[in-house]
Amino acid sequence: MRKLSVLTSVVALATAGMASANEGLQEIINDPANWGIQTGDYKNQRYSKLDKINKDNVKDLQVAWTFSTGVLRGHEGSPLVVGDMMYVHTPFPNTVYALDLTQEGKIKWKYEPKQNPDVIPVMCCDTVNRGVAYADGKIFLHQADTTVVALNADTGAVEWSVQNGDPSKGETNTATVLPVKDKVIVGISGGEFGVRGHVTAYDIESGEQVWRAYSMGPDEDILVDPENTTHLGEPVGENSGTNTWEGDQWMIGGGTTWGWYSYDPEADLVYYGTGNPSTWNPAQRPGDNRWSMTIMARDPDDGMAKWFYQMTPHDEWDYDGVNEMILTEQQMDGEERQLLTHFDRNGLGYTLDRISGELLVAEKFDPAVNWTTGVDMDENSDQYGRPQVVADYSTEQNGEDVNSTGICPAALGSKDQQPAAYSPDTELFYVPTNHVCMDYEPFRVSYTAGQPYVGATLAMYPAPDSHGGMGNFIAWDNVKGEIKWSLPEQFSVWSGALATAGNVVFYGTLEGYLKAVDATTGDELYKFKTPSGIIGNVMTYEHDGKQYVGILSGIGGWAGIGLAAGLTNPNDGLGAVGGYAALSDYTALGGQLTVFALPN
Amino acid sequence: MMRTVSVKIALAAALALAPAALSAQSWSDQPVDPEKSQDAAAIAYDEGGRYYTEDDVPTYNLAEDGTVDWMTFSGFRRYHSECHVCHGPDGEGSTYAPKIKNSAVNMDYYDFYDVVVNGRQNGNSVMPHFGDNPNVMCYLDDIYVYLKARGMDAVPRGRPGKKEAKSDEIREMEDACMG
């Protein structure tokens, strides 16, 4: 009898555990002492209720402790803190450290996967990784070689491991994963290698694949219901993932899914965006190329799509749509709305109704943006929801082997993956941006599996006729579609922002500064130069009653490629060559976590 | 056609010697003294819009008014499609990949060719192999002469302003190679 009752309660516990994987993580997220998920919360707000560090005392911030990761490549993402443990990840080889905060960060366990180095060169743009996820007593790591591994959070022991993609075909990973309910949601990289993007759900307990939704292809591949899945309020119809492609191009169509994922538990929908269609030469892929460049809302249980919104049909500039979808509840025209706000690479800040997929706002969040005059918002227009392309800046209309000049933004976008933050106190979004333009010349390329499949040459340079810098850190009103304030930066801002209840907003710079600004005014309150340039995301946590702010330094990523030697504007003539700041004059390599606190 | 044959034979010879030649990596970032390398880049003859040194190695041609030969211009385009995502704009290097414009001067043509075809690895620093990628292999001479011109400071950063016309011979070879 005794044995039976023990068994029964174990079963009950296990069942509860499975059903509450989402709730378990939600409870961890609800306690602001933790930083339990890369994105701050399921809504991707990157807002902390902690307020011991506030706008009045942040000027006194000091370095509390530091930790070298032992890796020199670009460090994106951030550590997690769950209870007394901190989990720190690195770029390739994707080492994970579990640090015991009760013992001054002593290494409790370390996990270093063995990965084939052949994966390194098929990662476009450095071997970054945007961090681990936690749920249900496990740490989830999605390695560069697309192995998804679940580690026991106490011991680091591998509980399960699954292969999500094939690096020999250029399929790699840089993103974190999203634990939702009893599943982990996983994306894929490789848009520059002709990879057909997909999102996959694995069972959180076993690692077994539950569903996979491709970005393009037949209806059964992209998990749509032609009658009920909508695009701007209309059913997508049959074959929507193939009928805007010519021939079999969709099979190497791109639309990879390397960005961030958010989740609305009430609507029970997961949100993410898809990347550029392959190749970068638009002439080789006539049509709208659905569903690349698309915001997607899917049911996490079976992957079925509820709605899509394609932001940049038939991309001509590499404006991937993967940036984060930030979920908020705000008043709009006197009505309480459940909103989704997204700052796209294409330079437009979108506000949508996240339940219906209705487009509410689409405005430029960098005044330099010139490839479009804006999005047609007239529901009765045949152009409804489409960006109106300026012919001069259309690499499609100018044609193959023609160099289109002065396009803003550049391919890296007015904003790349570096996530924005939202403060419900100010109702403002704090957005790290790039202020860079480009020349773009597409030409014919052929496809070889596992080889780059790009098909365009581009030159990038700071936005002309502006402040000369390559970045801005802005505050954005998503209801009005307006910039509230804008802080010029010498380099692109490639760090994820953090907003706190202390009315402080933090971000990092490529020179290596951690900066704190007033959430209302943007006034600079504090800065500290860390050992290397920052492309990581700022996080905060509380331990033993004390608030800490943590940031990974370690220059690299796209920024470390494009800006290392400085940019030149080919249109400025010979005299200006070398006229722009080189990142290599300001910082050098080095992966390090720096943790800040107020003095005792 | 003769030329193709002789290049192939020399390439085979270089490959046979490859292992010893590949162990050195550190010179990739070694600075270039253009004065000292002038002879290695000097044009001995041209053929169908391509320029060669007296050792039959492809090289660039720069007119006094800044006009570059088609191969150098084409190399600029192909480099900024296939190579710059690691080696940075204009061959200037990145946080993890060497200044390849200098490699094109410091490395022997056949060694350069071999590394592009077969790739190489030094710890976590990995050069991929492009041997089966027509977008690179059909334009490897173009990329080489462009980078050599960059390493020699013969052409400035950015897009070359004026270029020679594409010759029929180059067009025919490109079409045959790309298929």
Cβ–Cβ contacts within 10 Å for residue A499, how many? Answer: 29
Residue A429 pLDDT greater than 80, yes or no: yes
Distances (CA, A) of A255 to A18, A525, B158: 32, 40, 30
Q: Number of structural domains, chain B?
A: 1
Averaged pLDDT score across all residues of chain A:
93
Cβ-based contacts of B85 with chain A (< 8 Å) = 124-125, 192, 452, 454, 561
Q: Say how many CB pairs under 8 Å bridge A and B.
A: 118
- DSSP classification of residue A35: B
Residue A569 pLDDT greater than 80, yes or no: no
Exposed, middle or buried: residue A334 (CB in 10 Å: 0-12, 13-18, 19+)?
exposed
**Phi first, then psi: what are they for B103, rounded to 5°?**
-60, -35
Contact between residue A476 and residue A485 where contact means Cβ atoms under 8 Å apart? no
pLDDT at position A22 is 75
What is the separation of C-alpha B22 from the centre of its chain, rounded to a whole number of angstroms? 17
Cα A29 from Cα A263, distance rounded (Å): 13
Distances (CA, A) of B96 to A96, A118, A362, A473, B36: 21, 16, 37, 27, 28
Give me the residue from B95, B99, B133 closest to A556, CB to CB.
B95
User: DSSP 3-state assignment of A252?
Assistant: helix
User: Nearest-CA distance from A451 to chain B in Å?
Assistant: 6
Cβ-based contacts of A448 with chain B (< 8 Å) = 132-135
Residue A578 pLDDT greater than 70, yes or no: no
Cβ pair A560:B96 closer than 8 A: yes
Averaged pLDDT score across all residues of chain B:
83
User: Nearest-CA distance from A420 to chain B in Å?
Assistant: 25
Cβ pair A452:B179 closer than 8 A: no
Q: Which residues of A190-225 are buried (b: 16+ CB within 10 A; e: fewer)?
A: bbbbbbbbbbbbbebbebeebbbbbbbbebebbbbe
Residue A128 pLDDT greater than 90, yes or no: yes
Confidence of residue A568 (pLDDT cuts 50, 70, 90): low
User: Nearest-CA distance from A128 to chain B in Å?
Assistant: 12
From A288, A429, A420, A267, select the one nearest A353 (Cα to Cα).
A267
Cβ-based contacts of A446 with chain B (< 8 Å) = 134-135, 178-179
Cα A93 from Cα A112, distance rounded (Å): 7
Cβ pair A561:B132 closer than 8 A: no
pLDDT tens readout for residues A19-44? 344 789 999 999 999 999 999 999 99
Residue A1 pLDDT greater than 70, yes or no: no
Please give the full DSSP string across A316-363, using - where no structure is assigned: SS-----S-EEEEEEEETTEEEEEEEEE-TTSEEEEEETTT--EEEEE
pLDDT at position A182 is 95
pLDDT tens readout for residues A306-347? 999 999 999 999 999 999 999 999 999 999 999 999 999 999
pLDDT tens readout for residues B85-141? 889 889 988 888 889 999 999 999 999 999 999 999 887 788 999 999 999 999 999
Residue A577 pLDDT greater than 50, yes or no: no
Residues pairing with A526 in the sheet: A516
Cβ pair A455:B89 closer than 8 A: no
pLDDT tens readout for residues A195-254? 999 999 999 999 999 999 999 999 999 999 999 999 999 999 999 999 999 999 999 999
Residue of A nearest to B155 (CA): A574
Q: What is the arithmetic mean of pLDDT over A76-93?
A: 97
Q: What is the arithmetic mean of pLDDT over B49-56?
A: 96
Confidence of residue B16 (pLDDT cuts 50, 70, 90): very low
Cβ-based contacts of B158 with chain A (< 8 Å) = 459, 568-570, 577
pLDDT at position A411 is 93
**Phi first, then psi: what are they for A594, rounded to 5°?**
-115, 130
From A537, A578, A583, select the one nearest A48 (Cα to Cα).
A537
Residue B22 pLDDT greater than 70, yes or no: no
Cα B30 from Cα B10, distance rounded (Å): 26
Instruction: Flag the least confident range among A18-22, A394-398, B78-82.
Output: A18-22
Confidence of residue A571 (pLDDT cuts 50, 70, 90): low
Cβ-based contacts of B82 with chain A (< 8 Å) = 452, 454
Cα B129 from Cα A561, distance rounded (Å): 20
Q: Which residues of A148-160 are buried (b: 16+ CB within 10 A; e: fewer)?
A: bbbbebeebeebb
Q: Which two tokens mark A234?
A: 């209309």
Cα A141 from Cα A134, distance rounded (Å): 9
Looking at A41, A136, A288, A318, which residue is catalytic? Answer: A318
Q: What is the arithmetic mean of pLDDT over A498-521?
A: 98
pLDDT tens readout for residues A516-546? 999 999 999 999 999 999 999 999 999 999 9
pLDDT at position A118 is 83
Residue B15 pLDDT greater than 70, yes or no: no
Q: Which domain holds residue B74?
A: 2-178
Cα A162 from Cα A153, distance rounded (Å): 18
Probe site for chain A from B96, B121, B170 (most A CB atoms < 10 A): B96
pLDDT at position A570 is 60
Torsion of CA A138, A28, A549, A46, to 10 degrees: 100
User: Nearest-CA distance from A186 to chain B in Å?
Assistant: 25
Confidence of residue A123 (pLDDT cuts 50, 70, 90): confident
Q: Which two tokens mark A460?
A: 């990038």
Cβ-based contacts of B128 with chain A (< 8 Å) = 118, 121-122
- DSSP classification of residue B38: H
**Domains plus CATH for chain A?**
60-597 (2.140.10.10)
Catalytic annotation on A318? yes
A589 shares contact with chain B (CB less than 8 Å)? yes
Cβ pair B81:A556 closer than 8 A: no
Residue A164 pLDDT greater than 50, yes or no: yes
pLDDT at position B179 is 81
Strands A230-231 and A305-310: parallel
Measured between alpha carbons, how far apart are the two ends of chain B, in Å?
19
From A495, A474, A476, select the one nearest A362 (Cα to Cα).
A476
Cα A538 from Cα A559, distance rounded (Å): 17
Q: Hunting for tokens 């979920």 — which residue is that? A: A327
Cβ pair A118:B126 closer than 8 A: yes
Q: What is the arithmetic mean of pLDDT over A70-93?
A: 96
Torsion of CA B9, B108, B155, A571, to 10 degrees: 80
Which residues on chain B place their C-beta less than 8 Å from a C-beta of chain A? 76-82, 84-86, 88-90, 92-97, 99, 119, 121, 124-128, 130, 132-136, 156-159, 178-179
Cα A294 from Cα A274, distance rounded (Å): 5
Contact between residue A278 and residue A194 where contact means Cβ atoms under 8 Å apart? yes
Residue A11 pLDDT greater than 90, yes or no: no
Instruction: Flag the least confident range among A112-121, A149-158, B23-32, B109-118.
Output: B23-32
Cβ pair B85:A451 closer than 8 A: no
Cα B71 from Cα A315, distance rounded (Å): 29
